[in-house]
Chains A and B, each alone.
Chain A
Amino acid sequence: GAVVSQHPSWVICKSGTSVKIECRSLDFQATTMFWYRQFPKQSLMLMATSNEGSKATYEQGVEKDKFLINHASLTLSTLTVTSAHPEDSSFYICSARPTSGRDNEQFFGPGTRLTVL
Chain B
Amino acid sequence: DAKTTQPPSMDCAEGRAANLPCNHSTISGNEYVYWYRQIHSQGPQYIIHGLKNNETNEMASLIITEDRKSSTLILPHATLRDTAVYYCIVTSYGNKLVFGAGTILRVKS
Q: In the bound complex, what is the Cα–Cα distance between A111 and B39 (angstroms)?
A: 12
Q: In the bound complex, what is the Cα–Cα distance between A44 and B34 (angstroms)?
A: 15
B residues near A103, Cβ cutoff 8 Å: 32, 49, 93
Q: In the bound complex, what is the Cα–Cα distance between A58 and B35 (angstroms)?
A: 24
- Asked if residues A46 and B93 are in contact (CB atoms below 8 Å), the reply is no
State the main secondary structure of chain A at its contact with B.
strand
State the main secondary structure of chain B at its contact with A.
loop
Q: List 24 A-B contacts (CB under 8 A).
A: A6-B43, A43-B87, A43-B100, A43-B102, A45-B99, A46-B97, A46-B98, A93-B43, A93-B44, A95-B44, A95-B97, A103-B49, A103-B93, A104-B49, A104-B93, A104-B95, A104-B97, A106-B97, A108-B43, A108-B44, A108-B45, A110-B43, A111-B41, A111-B43
B interface, CB within 8 angstroms of A: 32, 34, 36, 38, 41-46, 49, 87, 91-102
